Amino acid sequence: MVPVQTFNLLLFVIEAVIYFTVMLALLHFRKRTGLGVFLTALGGMHFLETYLAAVFYVSLPFGTVSPGSSVLFAGKLMLILLLYIKEDAETVRQPIYGLFLGNLLTVVLAFILQFHDVSGAPMSGDTVFVEEMGWLMLWGTTLLYLDSIAIILLYEKLGRYFPRRTIPRFLIAGAVLLTFDQIAFFGALHIFLGVPVEAFWGGWKAKMFSLVLYSGLYLVYRRLCEAAGPYTSSSRALSDVFGDLTFRERYQDLLERSGRDSLTGIFDRNRMEIDAPATIRACLQAGRPVSMVVLDVDHFKLVNDNFGHLQGDVVLKGLAGLLQATVRNEDKLYRFGGEEFIILLPGLDHEKAMALAERLRREVATIMATPDLAPVTISSGVATGPEDGGSFSELIASADGRLYRAKAEGRNCVRGQTVATADAGPAGA
């Protein structure tokens, strides 16, 4: 007669192989059946794995184990990593957030159900049990959320060291995160459901056993179905991957879209009043210079009067595009109002800021023209902190004063702390 523990171990292996093989097949054929089939099957097992983790344990050679935690949850985490490997971070975040929100909804509805008057009903379920399971599922999904992000980031980090070794990365990342999950999830089971301490070590060993088994199945799958060659690590920064997993890129996109000037597409005055003081303060606290250029289109009113406001808009949009293409990536360009623009130059001293402003002046005069082929010119004032002040208001006042000096001295020129850049065009340009 086969010993009970050996028989349970055989069933454990069969369960793991069936679960992982079927799910891997759904993932592999996702282009034919649709990714929704794989995601629905993944989510459909969540209640069963949580229920088994709470109430169903068997004896194996390495301890007391719940197949729900050791087979289903461990398999789910590794399948989420495989979904990331085969797709991308934006795809893999869908089941993570879907499971979390679904379980949160379970908790809310189970709480409301308890207020029903079930007297006279032929039968009624145990809503308290449903609520307890809901909270446990919610905790499990919270851990899954943390596990999924962490295992993907760790997998990518390991790729820096051995990019063409997918299986070792799969194993190491899984071992680290399944250990973390065992500690966190078992803690909740022990505190709220009285699961004995012995189950911790048995469950951890079972998860490691499952991980080795899943890695072997994955290796077989790759040999049979992926002859194109090994995966390599992503070239993207970990911060970008993290941003995709947490919807941070959506926030960044919203932030980028807010505070934009509707005509030119560059940042507007409201955005400047938020960004500029913080940038100036950060530069000066770090001991770095920060410069500001305030520039204005010369005789812009004549463009509107002679050619109409639509042509004036064309000039402003063209100027904004030229300025944006010329400044550095870290510089910030704002439309201050009308035909006036401000460029914030973190880390640039006064001499370099003057040189940049002069280069912009020459390029505008050379490239841009009105419909009658007259050159479009600009005048600029430059200020630099800390010499011209340590705050946004001080720098803009200083640069604005130098802009008006440039206009008074003939336009089409740059003025800074010293009159270092002479007028390069006709006095009345």
Burial 238-252 (b: 16+ CB within 10 A, else e): eeebbbbbbeeeeee
**Tokens 């899954």 identify what position?**
144
Contact between 203 and 66 (Cβ < 8 Å): yes
Whether residues 308 and 222 share a domain: the answer is no
Domain of 359, in residue numbers:
262-415
Q: Is residue 427 part of a domain?
A: no
Cα(5)–Cα(59) distance, rounded to whole angstroms?
6
Whether residues 411 and 308 share a domain: the answer is yes
Cα(36)–Cα(38) distance, rounded to whole angstroms?
5
**Tokens 């410069």 identify what position?**
291
Q: Is residue 280 part of a domain?
A: yes
What is the 8-class DSSP label of residue 73? I
Q: Is residue 424 part of a domain?
A: no
Cα(302)–Cα(392) distance, rounded to whole angstroms?
32
3 state SS for 142-164: HHHHHHHHHHHHHHHHHHCCCCC
Whether residues 149 and 205 share a domain: the answer is yes
> What is the pLDDT at residue 421?
42
Whether residues 345 and 274 share a domain: the answer is yes
Whether residues 275 and 245 share a domain: the answer is no
Q: Is residue 256 part of a domain?
A: no
Q: Is residue 254 part of a domain?
A: no
Q: Is residue 425 part of a domain?
A: no
Among 50-64, 185-199, 323-337, the range scoring the smallest mean pLDDT is: 185-199
State the pTM of this model: 0.57
Q: Are strands 414-415 and 378-385 parallel, antiparallel or unpaired?
A: parallel
Whether residues 242 and 320 share a domain: the answer is no
Residue 339 in this model has a pLDDT that exceeds 90: yes
In total, how many domains does the chain have?
2
> What are the tens digits of pLDDT across the range 118-158?
776 676 666 666 666 767 777 878 888 889 889 989 998 89
Nearest alpha-carbon partner for 395 in 312, 292, 272: 292
Q: pLDDT band at 241, cuts 50/70/90?
A: low
Cα(245)–Cα(91) distance, rounded to whole angstroms?
9
> What is the pLDDT at residue 235?
52
> What are the tens digits of pLDDT across the range 3-35?
899 999 999 999 999 999 999 999 999 989 999
> What are the tens digits of pLDDT across the range 202-215?
899 999 999 999 99
DSSP output for 106-129: HHHHHHHHTTS--TT-S----HHH
Whether residues 187 and 66 share a domain: the answer is yes
Whether residues 232 and 348 share a domain: the answer is no
Whether residues 184 and 269 share a domain: the answer is no
**Tokens 């600029």 identify what position?**
380
Q: Which CATH number is 372's domain given?
A: 3.30.70.270
Residue 114 in this model has a pLDDT that exceeds 60: yes
